[in-house]
Amino acid sequence: MHKIAIALSGGADSLMSLLLLRETGAEVMGVHARFLGADDEALHKRLGNLCATLGVPFALIDLRREFDELVIAPFVRAYQSGLTPNPCATCNPAIKFGLLLDRVRELGANRLATGHYARLEESPYGPALFRGLDPAKDQSYFLSRVPQDRFPHVVFPLAAWTKVEVRQALAERGFTPPAGAESQEVCFIPTDYREFLLSRKTRLSGPGSIALADGTVLGRHAGLWNHTLGQRKGLGIAYSEPLYVTGKDFQKNRLIVGTKAETVASGCRTAAPNLLCPSEAWPAEVLVQTIYRQRPEPARVSVDGTGMTITFTRPQPLPSPGQVAAVYSAAGQVLAGAVIEEASHAA
């Protein structure tokens, strides 16, 4: 019988995944990856006790150094470069389905299960990644950069579940998540990303001017890293109509602002994509999602040797360089994922 390692975070989703696998009769082991320096020893003990109660082997896997090097450090560098990074979309290919998957295979498991709300289905081109059936919790966007050759070794027990059903099922079985509260979106940022960057004593851009696209200076900013595209609040400038962040000029350390009409884009350009389906096999019509919880929108996508050129069918909010563009089929299959490099302002 194949052994499956289940990555236990302490939350409801991974706990339910463990119970579901165990109820199928699968040979299961529980693992908890240590990512942060100030880790929760009490949680480790509760996870160990839970697995002992269930008769499941349990192992701690220390990835703190690798997590800092492969997730936190690039996150900091991205902000230093004026980007808006997506650390979860970096962690999944590099850590969870990268190093952690490798480690559990070294421990004797041949597959890794997680509590992600996503589906895997067989296709002529290998395992195909699809949206989870719970639209409110679907996490396929964050998985779009995981290489396809990792998916034969991955299990998503919650593929056909909703969050409401998970909570009900745990209550019916008499289980409470060991961590208590739900995990936050970015595990290493306890409060605000600005406070986190400052706590790392990161060298960040200093004050500069806030200006319109024509160069008219309207005020001062405290650092480009404090601002994101589309931002309206917190600019501290007065104008005849509301203004939004529409760009960043790093050479001049200038924050570019404009009216609501200037916050829309006709498309964007990405870095080299992670193809989960050969581009020649894509359907004629595809959808693109450029931020989590955004509804995917129709677009034309061309793939070349260095990236993807995405042209929206209708103007969309400005995508933020550093975020991820995920390409979907109408059926919810993830076709590709890539980091956004540049947005194209609508004419």
**CB-based contact 235:245 (threshold 8 Å):** yes
- Order across the sheet with 111-113: list the strands: 58-62, 27-34, 3-7, 111-113, 154-155
End-to-end CA separation in angstroms for the chain:
59
Query: Which residues sit opposite 312 in a β-bridge?
Result: 299
51 carries an active-site annotation: no
Exposed, middle or buried by CB within 10 Å (0-12, 13-18, 19+), for 127? middle
Q: Is 277 one of the catalytic residues? A: no
Catalytic one of 51, 88, 91, 268: 91
Instruction: Decide the pairing of beta strands 274-275 and 264-270.
Output: unpaired
* Rg of the chain, C-alpha, whole Å: 22
Read off the DSSP letter of residue 310. Answer: E
8-state DSSP, 321:
B
Cβ atoms within 10 A of the Cβ of 78, count?
19
Using alpha carbons, select from 86, 83, 79, 87 the residue that is nearest to residue 247: 83
**Active site positions, annotated:** 91, 187
